[in-house]
Amino acid sequence: MKQLLLSISTLLALGVSAQKKEFTEQQMLRGGAANITTPLPRVLGWVDDARLLINKKEHQDSAMKVFLVDCKTGKMTPSSADLLKKETSPMVTVSLRDNDVFVMIPGQPTKQLTKTPETEVNPTLSPDKAWVAFTRKNDLYTINIASGKEHRITNDGTDLILNGYASWVYFEEILGRPTRYKSYWWSPDSKQIVFMRMNDTKVPLFPIYSENGQHGYSENTRYPKAGDPNPTVRIGITPVDGGQLTWADFNENEDQYFGMPYWTPDAKTLLIQWMNRGQDNLIIYAVNPTNGSKKEVYNEKQKTWIDLDDQGGRISFLGDNKGFILQSDKDGWDQLYLHNSDGTLKNQITTGSNWSTSVQFIDEVKNIIYFTSRQENSVRTDLYRVDFDGKNQMRLTFGDYTHATDLSPNGSYFTTRYSNASTPDKLALVNNKGKLILELGDSKGADFDAYAMAKTEILRIPSDDGLFQLPIRITWPLNFDPAKQYPVMINIYGGPNAGTVRDGWQFNGQTQWWAKEGLIQVAMDHRASGQFGKNGINYMHRSLGNWELKDWITIVKWLRTHGADSTRVGIAGFSYGGYMTCMALTAGAGYFTHGLAGGSVTDWKLYDSHYTERFMDTPAENPQGYAAGSVMTYADQYKGLLRIYHGTMDDNVHLQNSLQLVKKLQDVKKHFEFMVYPGGRHGWGGNQQFHSTNENNAFIYKNLLKKEVPMSMIR
């Protein structure tokens, strides 16, 4: 990949902006940059495999109309949204009102299914819309909608025994926050439910204090920190009406994790993801729902770690029990593999430097897989196709753009919304050979070229060891003068496989404002950000905080030779980004001068077991790594100015982290700033959010721009 550096022509292009109109304060800070971009046509849906409905303007000043696009001819004709297929069954929905469960069926009165003093949680419809499952006081229940009969599945729920409701570490790190603690799953035929029974007895309590009221109160969360006991887990399978409860054949007292289970399409088998505490061995078992017996169908080991699937993307089943497609990064990249139904490997499907691979459509008639990946360029997403046997892999999208695609029902065509850092979004229709059929829309507005816009570009900076071309997204000050020096503001996150540099259109009035004020704005990624696959991410094994800082220092060195003022290099981040900001102002204090650190981890012994140990192993196994990754280790090296801020009721990264750093900085007699947000969790809203933004902006103005905050910036 070619290294992109700031050329004379680029510098000249930056100077051209002075000849154009400048955005007004209103346009930048309050919205309303009229006619810079216009809305793209809206894709309403596919009528069939060769016809598409879109909603668009026939002319610039006309009203939106519905058009039918014939993909074979490329012709558009006025139409009606009624062409879209209607639901073949009523849209039954379920909801909670005053903590009771209600069901809504079109054409019928709303039906109340529960009426109890207790709170029902996570009501979920069965696939056939005949049943609702939920949890109450940590027991699992089902209700038949037609009869209203309730079935209690479990009877041992307590504050420590959770049936179908996740313990905190499973909710946060394994199943994911979108589950809202739900840990049960319907079978495809609606006849069974698989659920997790979690026992928190051995998990330590962590108190979270609230200042509310005269006496305040404490929330006690079962939160396992690195090295602590985890919740024990059993996997239960139950008939929908309660019947005989079956437990999968696992020893709940083993130190282990379970990922999201997969029902096979025929509902006859469960695939259960099992992982050891060290998170370097993934085994997938086929479990018989009738008797709980298990059989190993897949076993993967890595020298570092394996991510435990939480989004249901690891396995895609083929019809008629023909097997499944499995996704793995075991070769250093994110590849697809074809397995027989018994788990035996048939062949590797994809090749190349794939990352963020996602199966979009499987054509079982033609044995073709359509998938998206960041292969062509790690900061862009493209659509690809490949045969089941791994042959004929090809890129279907085009140009130096990042693409968001939508395939037709049988994969013959797709739409793509595409852009890059300098090109506003466009919409196009393409066939499955990669041929552009029709441009459907361009969001570039009539006044796009009339305004002086700060130049944003994607560059690559070689790492110090020459092994990686590190990507940065940089927005230069308006009317940039290469003879001058400018303050820098770097916004980061930083963690493993958590890159932020993407090549897409991101017009933002606030960004234009900072550019007008003379700020170099940078997003940057390190070798373990996911830009270089699992091979790059593996550098972070047992060494969080080390390689991120080394690579970012390399980028700061480059910035110093390209217009950056070495005395005004700011960095800001939240959560892992807050951690890296604290590291930058301590271990990296010779290069970073000012930092805004929110919700920061400051010592990995203080964070949860599953996330931390995935990369670091336990504190007992890796004491040197934990010491090297702790901000407190470098507190005596701190210089510049760090602003630390944190929510007092953060249940994810506890306030304890920032308080321990505050105490350490006080012990070594360092000057810093500190702000708490009472009641704030891992983020906060309302006036506290406005306050936080105002304070951070004031910090940037005072320390980087060296002037007062304009009143227009204060919200």
Residue 205 lies in a domain: no
Confidence at residue 570, expressed as pLDDT on a 0 to 100 scale: 98
When pLDDT is averaged across residues 508-513 and rounded to a whole number, the result is 90
Residue 670 lies in a domain: yes
pLDDT at 32 over 90: no
Q: How confident is the model at residue 310 (pLDDT cuts 50, 70, 90)?
A: low
- Calculate Rg over the CA atoms of the chain: 27
**What distance in Å separates the CA atoms of residue 23 and residue 36, rounded to the nearest whole number?**
10
Scan for tokens 């008629």, then name that residue: 320
pLDDT in tens, 246-290: 999 999 999 999 999 999 999 999 999 999 999 999 999 999 999
pLDDT at 139 over 60: yes
Confidence at residue 17, expressed as pLDDT on a 0 to 100 scale: 45
Confidence at residue 27, expressed as pLDDT on a 0 to 100 scale: 81
| Domain end point (choices 64, 83, 102) | 83
Residue % of the chain over a pLDDT of 70: 96
- Write out the two tokens for 619: 């504190």
Phi first, then psi, for residue 548 (nearest 5°) are -60, -50
Confidence at residue 715, expressed as pLDDT on a 0 to 100 scale: 80
| Domain end point (choices 56, 83, 110) | 83
Asked whether 650 and 316 are in contact (CB, 8 A), the reply is no
Confidence at residue 86, expressed as pLDDT on a 0 to 100 scale: 67
The domain tally of the chain equals 2
Residue 647 lies in a domain: yes
pLDDT in tens, 256-266: 999 999 999 99
Confidence at residue 88, expressed as pLDDT on a 0 to 100 scale: 61
**What distance in Å separates the CA atoms of residue 282 and residue 258, rounded to the nearest whole number?**
10
Residue 364 lies in a domain: no
Q: How confident is the model at residue 8 (pLDDT cuts 50, 70, 90)?
A: very low
Residue 556 lies in a domain: yes
Residue 454 Ramachandran class (φ > 0 left, ψ -120 to 50 alpha, else beta)? beta
pLDDT in tens, 320-330: 999 999 999 99
pLDDT at 1 over 60: no
- Look at residue 537 and give its three-state secondary structure: helix
List Cα–Cα distances, 416 to 66, 237, 363, 429, 433, in angstroms. 19, 42, 19, 7, 14
Residue 709 lies in a domain: yes
Q: How confident is the model at residue 598 (pLDDT cuts 50, 70, 90)?
A: very high
Residue 56 lies in a domain: yes
Residue 557 lies in a domain: yes
Q: Which residue range is the domain that position 78 belongs to?
A: 42-83
Three-state SS for 628-649 is HCCHHHHHHHCCCEEEEEEECC
Confidence at residue 270, expressed as pLDDT on a 0 to 100 scale: 97
Confidence at residue 59, expressed as pLDDT on a 0 to 100 scale: 72
| Domain end point (choices 30, 60, 83) | 83
pLDDT in tens, 76-98: 999 988 888 766 667 899 999 99
Asked whether 509 and 27 are in contact (CB, 8 A), the reply is yes
Residue % of the chain over a pLDDT of 90: 88
